Amino acid sequence: MGRRVVLAVFGCLLIAAFVTPATAQQQPRGPVVTPNIQVTSDILPGRIHTEPQMLVHPTDPNVLVIAEVDFNRSACGIHVSLDRGRTWAKAPAEAMPPGYKACTRPNFGSFFAAKFGIDGTLYLAGTAGLNASSSGPNDPYVARTKDLGRTWQYSIIKKSEERDFPKADGTSTRDFERFGYIRLAVHPTDPSRVYVGYRRQGAFQPVAQASERSVVSVSTDGGATFSLPTDVLETSYALTDVKGSDQPAMAVAEDGTIYAFTKERPPLSTAPGVTQAALPLPPGPANACRAASANPAAQPWVPTPVPSSIPTVGQPGAGSRLFMSKSTDNGKTWKANTIDTSGVICGPCLTTPEAAIDAKTGDLYVVFEQSDSPPPNPRDDRNIWFMKSTDGGNVWSKRVQLNDDIDPNRKPNYDQMFPGISVAPNGRIDVAWWDFRTDALYNPAGNGNTTRRDQTCFDIFYTSSSDAGTSWAKNSRISDRTMNQNEGYSMNLSSDLRGPIGVASTNEEAFIAWNDSRNGTVELPTEDAYFAKVIHEEPGLESKSEPAIKASSVLLGLTIGLVLAGLAVATVAGNSGRRGST
C-alpha cells in the first residue's frame, strides 16, 4: 500500500505540473508595425507638410504631439492625439511670432525643432522672417505652450545684426546674420532650463564665403528669456582650422552637462584640378518601385564596427570631422574635441548628426548619415552609423552600421539618410531613417555606374537595441507604401527639404513621424505628415522579464495536485480495506 500511495502522490504532482498555467506570460516576439495614418488633413494641391517632430507627453503617454511646418504658408503648428496615435486633430493656434510673416526658412537639414519640458510645456524653435525668402536676415525665436497649442508665448532670442564673419583664408567679411539648422533640448529634471542651437551664417554672402558657426543659447527661466548665442567651437579650434560647422544636436544629462554634436563644413576645395561639384538636375520620370516584403521578425544582429579611414595629408577631402562640444556651466563656456574623422574622405560625406542620452545610465548616443565613398564619386552608398560613449564623451566606440542591406556585390549600394533617434525610459534605443533599398531599378547590375540622382523610390526603415547598442534588431519597414522622391519635396533634388525622421519612445512603443509623398505626382509634388508606431509590448501587458510560470500558478497547481493525491490515497485505502474483509 505504501508503494501505491507514493506512486499516487508522484503521479498527482505530475498532473499538477501539467495543469499549472504555463501560458500566463506571452513569449517575446518581434515588434509589430501599425498601418500608416495621415496626420495632416488639408487637401491643398501641392501642399508641403515637412519635417514633422514626434513627441510624447512627459506625464501622459496617451498624449502624442507631431509638430510640423506647412511650408507653402511658412506656418508652424502642432497636431495632437489623445489616444496614443489612433486619431489626430490640429491645434487651434499656429506658432507664428507676432510681427513676422514666416516661422521658418528653407534649409537643407533641420530647420525646425520641438521638445516637451518635464512639466508638460511644449517648446518650438524656429527662425522668424519678414518674408519667406531663402536668403536675407532672420531672427531666432522660441514659442511655448502649456495647453497643447491653444495659446502660445514667444521669445525672440536675438535680432539679426550686421557683424564680421571669418573667411576660410583668415580674413573677414561683413554681413547680416542669418540663422538655420535648428536644434532644441530641455533639461531632463529642471523645467526652467531650455537650450536652442543654430547655425549662424551670413545672410547675403554666397555659401562658404562667410564661415558658418554652431551657436547655442540657454534659458534659465522656462524659455521666457535666452542668453546671447555662444559659439561651441571657437575656444577649442581656431577659426582658420574649422572653416564652418552645422547645427549643434544636443543632449543634456541630469547634472546639467550639455553635449552638442556638430558636423564640420568643409571649405571650398582649392586643390589643383578639383572643382566644387554642382547640384545635379532633377531626374526624369519616376522609376518603378519594387514592392517591399512584409516586415520580418525582429532578430538580433551584431553590427560590425568599421574602422575610421583618414586620407593622406594634402589630398582633396579635408573637412567633415564630427565634433562634440561639452559645457558644464550652463552654456557659458564650451570645450570641444573631435570624436570621429571617418567622414573626411570627402567634403560632403557626413551630414548633420542627431544625439540622445540614456537618462538612467548617462550613456551618450549619436547617429549620423555618412558615405565611405571617396572622390571622384563621393557620397555614394550612404549608410546610417551609430556611436556611443559611457564616460561622458571622453572615449567613443567605433562606429557601427545600422542599416542591414549590406551587399558587397553592389557598388554602390542603396542610400540611407537622415536618422532620428530616441531612448525609451527602459533604455531601448529607437532609430529610424529614409531608405532607398526598395528601388528596384537603382543599379540592378551593381556595376558602379549610378549615382544618387538615379535613385527614385524610398521607404522609412527602423531598428532598435535593448542592450545599449551592442546588438540591433533586424531592420523593419515602417512606411506601408513606397514613396517617389519626384512626387514630393523632402528627397526631391530640386527642393531638398530633408530632415531627421521624428522618433519618440515609451517602454512599450516607438512612435515614428515623417513627411510622405504618396499623395503627390511628378507633375504636382505633394507632401503630408504620416505616423506609425512600432509595438514592442502592448500597454498594460505583463513585463517580458517576468517568468513564464508565475508563483501563484504553481501554488494553484500544487493545491489541485495534493487534493487529487488525497483522493487517490483514500481510494487506495478503501480498496485495501475491502480486500482485507473478504
Cis peptide before 28 (omega within 30 of 0): no
- Answer whether 534's CB lies under 8 Å from 510's CB: yes
What's at 314, amino acid-wise?
Answer: G
Phi, psi at 2, each rounded to 5°: -60, -40
Assign residue 59 a region (left: φ > 0; alpha: ψ between -120 and 50; beta: otherwise): alpha
**154, pLDDT greater than 60:** yes
Q: For 313-322, what is the mean pLDDT?
A: 64
Question: Can you tell me the distance from the alpha carbon of 517 to that of 49, in angstroms, rounded to the nearest whole number?
Answer: 10
Q: Rg (Cα) of the chain, in Å, rounded?
A: 28
CATH topology of domain 107-265+319-340: Neuraminidase (2.120.10)
Q: What is the pLDDT of residue 560?
A: 43
Q: State the pLDDT confidence band at 190, using cuts at 50, 70 and 90.
A: very high
Question: Can you tell me the distance from the alpha carbon of 550 to that of 23, in angstroms, rounded to the nearest whole number?
Answer: 10
Q: State the pLDDT confidence band at 91, using cuts at 50, 70 and 90.
A: very high
**301, pLDDT greater than 90:** no
Give this prediction's pTM: 0.85
Q: Mean pLDDT score of the chain, rounded to an integer?
A: 83
Question: Can you tell me the distance from the alpha carbon of 544 to that of 542, in angstroms, rounded to the nearest whole number?
Answer: 6
Closest CA to 245 of 263, 260, 269, 267: 263
- Using the structure block, give the residue that is written with the C-alpha cell 518650438: 124
- Answer whether 461's CB lies under 8 Å from 474's CB: no
pLDDT digits (tens, 9 = 90+) for 156-184: 999 999 999 877 777 888 999 999 899 99
CA-to-CA separations, 511 to 52, 63, 201, 559, in angstroms, rounded = 12, 12, 34, 45
Q: State the pLDDT confidence band at 498, using cuts at 50, 70 and 90.
A: confident
CB neighbour class for 75 (10 Å; exposed up to 12, middle 13-18, buried from 19): middle
Q: What is the pLDDT of residue 280?
A: 46
**357, pLDDT greater than 90:** yes
pLDDT digits (tens, 9 = 90+) for 38-58: 999 999 888 999 999 999 999
Cell of 337: 574635441
Query: Higher model confidence: residue 550 or residue 3?
Result: 3
Number of C-alpha atoms within 13 angstroms, CB side, residue 245?
Answer: 31
Transcribe 66-104 into DSSP letters.
EEEEETTTTEEEEEEESSTTSS-EE-SS----TT-SBS-
Number of C-alpha atoms within 13 angstroms, CB side, residue 200?
Answer: 28
Q: For 360-366, what is the mean pLDDT?
A: 97
Query: Higher model confidence: residue 377 or residue 92?
Result: 92
Question: Can you tell me the distance from the alpha carbon of 379 to that of 96, in angstroms, rounded to the nearest whole number?
Answer: 37
Cell of 320: 567633415
- Using the structure block, give the residue that is written with the C-alpha cell 504618396: 518
Question: Please, what is the end-to-end C-alpha distance for the chain in angstroms?
Answer: 17
Phi, psi at 283, each rounded to 5°: -70, 170
**302, pLDDT greater than 90:** no
Phi, psi at 485, each rounded to 5°: -65, -25
* DSSP annotation of 343: G
Q: What is the pLDDT of residue 273?
A: 35
**145, pLDDT greater than 60:** yes
**3, pLDDT greater than 80:** no
CB neighbour class for 131 (10 Å; exposed up to 12, middle 13-18, buried from 19): exposed
Query: Higher model confidence: residue 528 or residue 555?
Result: 528
Query: Higher model confidence: residue 342 or residue 389?
Result: 389
**386, pLDDT greater than 70:** yes
- Using the structure block, give the residue that is written with the C-alpha cell 548628426: 353
* Least reliable range by pLDDT among 276-280, 350-354, 378-382: 276-280
